[in-house]
Chain A
Amino acid sequence: MQPEGGKPRRLTRFDHREVRAALLLCAPTAVLMLALLVLPTLAVLGLSFTDAELGVPGFQFLGLGAYADLFTDRAFLRAFRNTAIYVALVAPASVVIGLVLALLIEAEVKGRAFFRSVYFLPVVSLTVAMASVWQYLMHPSFGPMNLVLQRFGLPSINWLGSSDNVLTSLALIGIWQALGFNLVLFLAGLTAINRDLYAAAEMDGVRSAWSRFWTVTWPMLGPTTLFVVTITMINAVKVFETVATLTQGGPSKASEVLLYTIYKEGFVYLHIGVASAMAVVFVAVLLVLLLVQTKVLEKQVHYA
């Protein structure tokens, strides 16, 4: 910050009045941060090295062995794998479809606001409520989805009741819900692209919509796309509501995902040591996603 023109520069680095004001303004937040963020984080880190159980007196310090145990723990590995599959299903689909829809809406003049609102509706709908609706839609015998399949002479699908299908079915719900969110972010990114670039590309002989997309839109949309991909992945890693409402991790643990497993270990089985180690891994996954985002952003800055 620049020292003010008229005042003589002080020898101390800080202006005492400014420091006092700042500390007063920050004090309530600092206290909250200590109580609600720093201490709990330290507690989770500490607990993660132990085999502590709620209601059982005394515990053992396992050190890094706690994490070694975790990575040989079948239930945890399954949750990790299931979450990865869920993310791999939801993120690409909801990003690509969101982008395609945004391009179509951007190009179409009629009904732009209408389509945007319709696609956005799932974002503002209560997840637990819409999960219940999907449960009805996916009911094996009288669910409208199977009735539609039957109408076309196709075999019924056991959407949520079969361990082979359950993750895909949950992913379908996840995609349905994330679409509108990605679409709105892409629309904002598209509007920010300078129109002159399209004119310039046109002059350089870029004629078709297809090559216009790859020469102008896609490179200019880079940062938006990266942001959308990361945030979609982070949200997908945090999948909880649909699992808790519809499957409770079943059938036969085929939909056990990270957060649901942490919840069950910590608050149903009261294995708070194990649950804490899982929570630390969960945060590590989020950290990796964020770091990748920052790294890529640093490499390819295409800001218009």
Chain B
Amino acid sequence: MMTPSSTLVRLLRFGFLAVGAAIILFPYVFMISASLKPPEDVFSASLSLWPEHFSAYENYSKALTRIPMVRILLNGALVCTAIVVFQILFALPAAYALAKLRFPGRGVLFGLVMLGLLVPIHAISIPLYAAAQISGLLNTLAVLVIPFTLSVFAMFLFRQFIKAMPDELIHAARMDGLSEAAIVWRIILPNAWPAASAFAIFSVVAHWNDLYWPLITISKTQLATPPLGLLFFRSAEVGDDYGALMAATLIVTLPLVLFFLFAQKLFIEGVTMTGLKG
């Protein structure tokens, strides 16, 4: 742009961004700081970030032992992975059919996809809960996965993406004698990889964060996911032991944050493609 970007304007701009960034980081700084402090330092009402007495070992060992922390993190990872895998496994073939094949009922199926986009799990949790109870699935890891194996959002996203693929690609594959299922997994999937990875990011962020469904279906600490585990930790905690709570908070926040820091491009692309959390 041609406007003379004066030093003052740039300085103001940079200053504004820096102040904003400081506000965003403010909670993280105090989380880390408090996780190192003993209760008396936290209660001392001082703004100093450096602890007077180090209590990191006590805080972090409480965070790791008061609830089965490692197990809970693994639960979260396992549940999120299973959900993503099933979602793609179910959604991709249907999305391919919706995008490229002509069959009776295609309109109905697509209408149902739109219905699904509208209705969040929260709204239909009562019958789903009842079904889980009847089938004896409450307090299992399976119940955390099953309701999410169907992702209409994945179907919608993949359909849009596959629609844009050239028909010649599919005709050529048919000429080579590939079955429709083989086309889905050997031709469509590799070509839809950007959409699949964007969706995977979307799905993992959403389900790693979700509290509503685990809160309803899981009452055993052993089976908790990180958000629910943290709630259990909070209720097991007597008084205001913020040091230990901040340690636990940091531990459950870290995995996804690290993942983000190492795969930023993937995340940003994921957001722009999926409008994350929709």
Interface set of A (CB-CB < 8 Å, partner B): 1, 4, 13-15, 18-19, 21-26, 28-30, 32-33, 36-41, 43-44, 47, 101, 104-105, 107-108, 110-111, 113, 115-130, 132-134, 136-137, 139, 141-142, 144, 147-148, 151, 176, 179-181, 184-185, 188, 198, 202, 207-209, 227, 231, 234-235, 238, 240-241, 244-245, 259, 262-263, 266-267, 272, 275-276, 279-280, 282-283, 286-287, 290
User: Contact: A126 with B27, CB < 8 Å?
Assistant: no
| B84 contacts chain A at the CB level, 8 A cutoff | no
Q: Which of B50-58, B191-199, B205-213 contacts A (4 or more CB under 8 A)?
A: B205-213
B155 within 8 A of A: yes
- The contact of B231 among A104, A128, A151, by CB within 8 Å, is A128
A-B pair number, CB within 8 angstroms: 284
**Which of A22, A41, A227 meets B275, CB within 8 Å?**
A227
**Chain B contact patch, size range:** 35 or more
Nearest B residue (CB) for A43 = B127
Give Cα distance in the complex from A267 to B128, angstroms: 12
Q: How far is the CB of A4 from chain B (nearest CB, A)?
A: 8
Question: For A44, what are the chain B residues with a Cβ–Cβ distance below 8 Å?
Answer: 123-124, 126-127
Of A21, A116, A141, most buried by chain B (CB within 10 Å of CB) is A21
For chain B, what secondary structure do more than half of its interface residues adopt (helix, strand, loop), or is it mixed? helix
Is B173's CB within 8 Å of the partner chain A? no
- Residues of chain A within 8 A of B2, CB atoms compared: 202
Most buried by A among B3, B104, B211, B272: B211
Chain B residues lying within 8 Å of A136, measured Cβ to Cβ, are 30-31, 34, 42, 242, 245-246
Q: Which of B89-120 contact A (CB under 8 A)?
A: 90-91, 93-94, 96-98, 101-106, 109, 112, 115-116, 118-120
The closest CB in chain A to the CB of B272 belongs to A188
Chain A interface mostly: helix
- B residues 58-87 with Cβ under 8 Å of A? none
Q: Given A29-B150, A133-B246, A283-B118, does the pair A101, B20 have CB atoms closer than 8 Å?
A: yes
B220-278 at interface with A (beta carbon < 8 Å): 226-227, 230-231, 234, 240, 242, 245-246, 248-250, 252-253, 256-257, 259-261, 264, 267-268, 271-272, 275-278
